[in-house]
Amino acid sequence: MLKLLVVDDEADICDFVRKFFKERHFNVFVAHNGESALSILSKERPKILLLDIKMPGMNGMETLKAIRERGDDVKVIMITAINDTATAQQAKKCGAEEYITKPLILEQLEKTVLTIARQIKVKAR
Amino acid sequence: MRGTVTEIPACAGMTKKVYYMPYEDNWLKVQDWIVDKMRNCDGALIPLERDGWQERQEPELDYQYILENASHTMIRFKKPERLIRMIVRIIDEQVKVTHTAMLLYDGSNKFFNIIDSKGEEGLKIPIGFLRITLDNPLVRMFKERHNYRLSENGVLEYKELLDIGQKDEDIKKDKDLVNLIELVVRQMELLKANVCIPIVYKKELMGIFVLGKKLSNIKFTRQEIGFFKTLANDVAMALSNAHLIQNLQEKVMEVHRLYEREHSLFVHTAISLAAAIDARDPYTHGHTERVTRYALAISEELEDLPEAEAYKNFKETLHIAALLHDVGKIGVTDSILNKKKQLTKKEYEKVKEHSITGAAILYPIRELGDIAKEVRAHHERFDGMGYPDGLKGEEIPFVARIIAVADTFDAITSDRPYRQKKMAEVAVQIIKDNSGTQFDPVITSAFLLTYRKGKLISAV
């Protein structure tokens, strides 16, 4: 089972996304801020990261930069408010795979994650 | 009674305890109260009508009755958000479903948004988290009204949809519909929806009401589905009411803005016109402006009189009329206007024509038609000895009677070629002495009051 980490300060979102991907056969971990995301990353080494940009404390951008500085090549999908696409584009430059705007289209989230998961599996073979 | 909750204890002749619901105010408190009462409901909830008590049998489903009543009240209060919050909350607590969500169409972003939701951990769709776009099969199904081909009341039930393509021959033949149903099934799976109800008003899809499974895992009864449908209709009604009211408010604001703009344009035109008149007559420089100021000051003591209330807009009429009262002086030659010596009788007759000329100038202008008669009459005397028409007492328009006093006060207190400047006290005495003859006594006393309050002296 592929490990997936969801990082969002909103508990409802984490719960929903966790259940959603659990049912799609992922091993889902949850973090509510950048700091705990980094610690789960080093401990569990998830392959895919769903990262909210706006969070108190260490935000998504800072977290992404820290991840890349550590040389971690986890696939990152940034999730951002619709009016913050400029930041999201910047995030792509910083090494994010994709960005999705909130409110999001559920199938789009599903498709993005499943596509990346497939690529990872193909590579691993 | 308003905003309070009254419990009437059981008494003779009443088998059940009856609760009376407050009619308006403080809805959040009331919602708490409703939910609390439903938890240990031992009686029916009865809304208190304005004109008396209303009795009703205990309904089959307590929450249903309560919610129906509450929602009808909400519609009246035009608070769709509160109605939605209350519906979602009560369904979550009373109907006992895994989760429920209300999606509403956001016209500016052109998608459906989760406005409120409740439910079990992981099933509750987070508010604002996802959007349903216009090309979503669920939206297409409702917008194109295919749902009414699938069920009588237009409500989509997951289990019914699964095999409807096989069961129903008509649907089976319609390949497009069969495809759409498959896509809708997939959407309902994504949302883990057991029931989807369109929120429609006048064939316009305003939202979608999503319900999960019952915790008991039993199928929703027809009665329950019908009830949800009613709630969806209530939401639609509340939304459209709120929209209507908002539109109306915007229209009123727009009209108001237009009026303000036109009105200020109008007053400014009158002021420039008045300035033009003043400029021609150096000896009365600032006369128009002062008379306007005095007249407005005096009018503050008169606003409540029926004569003032008879005007559509008393203050405005007075303001404009005072600004334009001497507009007719345009027709008086400079040689007369600028003459330093006492005027001859003939010259004076010419000057007297200015009130008629002024009215004639203003009369054809639609907006100034009412002002014309005030301008014409501003030299009339209360005893009927004035000009040009010799009007008497109440025959003289009220505004013109006020301007007459203000005009005289300024004429005496300011420099004129044919009269020495006199003290304000002298002017006051003259006006007092001529009360009832030249001036309306009511206006004289208003003038005296204004003068004593210091509202005219400071202006002199």
Rounded to 10 deg, the angle between the B80-90 and B222-280 helix axes is 160
Instruction: With beta carbons less than 8 A apart as the criterion, state whether B115 and B239 touch.
Output: no
**How close does chain A come to B191, measured CA to CA in Å?**
9
B130, B184, B185, best to mutate vs chain A, most A CBs in 10 Å: B130
Tokens of A103: 């409110």
Question: Residue B196, SS3?
Answer: strand
Q: Which residue has the tokens 């349903």?
A: B132
Is domain B281-452 given the CATH code 1.10.3210.10 in the classification? yes
Residues of chain B contacting residue A107, judged by C-beta atoms under 8 Å apart? 190
User: What pLDDT sits at residue B20?
Assistant: 43
Comparing CB atoms, the residue among A16, A105, A110 nearest residue B131 is A105
Is the model more confident about B168 or about B76? B168
pLDDT tens track for B86-128:
888 878 877 889 999 999 999 888 999 999 999 999 999 999 9
Report the alpha-carbon distance of residue B232 to residue B173 in Å, rounded.
31
Comparing CB atoms, the residue among A18, A19, A103 nearest residue B128 is A103
Reported as a pLDDT band with limits 50, 70 and 90, residue B422 is: low
Q: How far is CA B17 from CA B14, B29, B41, B400, B440, in A?
A: 7, 21, 9, 69, 69
Residues of chain A contacting residue B111, judged by C-beta atoms under 8 Å apart? 103
Nearest to B123 by CA among A118, A17, A38, A60: A17
Residues of chain B contacting residue A105, judged by C-beta atoms under 8 Å apart? 130-133
Whether the ω angle into residue B388 lies within 30 degrees of 0, i.e. cis, is: yes
Nearest to B176 by CA among B199, B209, B144: B144
Interface confidence, given as ipTM, is 0.91
Identity of the highest mean pLDDT range in A88-92, B136-140, B244-248:
B136-140
Report the alpha-carbon distance of residue B63 to residue B101 in Å, rounded.
18
Q: What is the mean pLDDT of residues A55-67?
A: 91
Reported as a pLDDT band with limits 50, 70 and 90, residue B75 is: low
Residues 6+ apart with CB under 8 A from B125: A16, B99, B101, B114, B117, B119, B191, B210
**How close does chain B come to A14, measured CA to CA in Å?**
8
CB–CB of B126 and A19 under 8 A? no
- Domain locations in chain A? 2-124
Q: How far is CA B261 from CA B250, B254, B265, B325, in A?
A: 16, 10, 6, 23
Burial of B272 (0-12, 13-18, 19+ CB in 10 A): exposed
CB–CB of B131 and A19 under 8 A? no
Q: What is the mean pLDDT of residues A107-123?
A: 94
Whether the ω angle into residue B126 lies within 30 degrees of 0, i.e. cis, is: no
CB–CB of B124 and A107 under 8 A? no
Reported as a pLDDT band with limits 50, 70 and 90, residue B40 is: very low
Comparing CB atoms, the residue among B121, B122, B190 nearest residue A107 is B190
CB–CB of A12 and B114 under 8 A? no
Q: What is the mean pLDDT of residues B439-444?
A: 96
Tokens of B271: 């002021």
Name the average pLDDT for chain B.
81
Length of chain B in terms of residues written: 460
Answer whether A12 touches B (CB < 8 Å).
yes
pLDDT exceeds cutoff 90 at B243: no
CB–CB of A106 and B191 under 8 A? yes
pLDDT tens track for B225-242:
988 898 888 888 888 877
Comparing CB atoms, the residue among B124, B131, B133 nearest residue A16 is B124
Residues 6+ apart with CB under 8 A from B176: none
Instruction: With beta carbons less than 8 A apart as the criterion, state whether B71 and B78 touch.
Output: no
Superfamily classification of domain B96-257: GAF domain (3.30.450.40)
Residues 6+ apart with CB under 8 A from A114: A24
Question: Residues of B numbered 187-226 whose beta carbons fall under 8 angstroms of chain A's beta carbons: which are they?
Answer: 190-191
Q: What is the mean pLDDT of residues B37-41?
A: 47
| Gyration radius of chain A over CA positions | 13
Number of other CB atoms surrounding residue B347 within 10 Å: 17
Question: Residue A56, SS3?
Answer: coil
Model-wide pTM > 0.90: no
Answer whether A18 touches B (CB < 8 Å).
yes
- Domain locations in chain B? 96-257, 281-452
Residues 6+ apart with CB under 8 A from B308: B299, B302, B314, B398
- Cβ-Cβ pairs closer than 8 A, A with B, add up to 43
pLDDT tens track for A69-86:
999 989 999 998 867 778
User: What pLDDT sits at residue B226?
Assistant: 87
**How close does chain A come to B129, measured CA to CA in Å?**
5
Strands across the sheet with B17-21, in order? B6-8, B17-21, B43-47
Superfamily classification of domain A2-124: Response regulator (3.40.50.2300)
pLDDT exceeds cutoff 50 at B44: no
| Gyration radius of chain B over CA positions | 37
Instruction: With beta carbons less than 8 A apart as the criterion, state whether B211 and B228 touch.
Output: yes
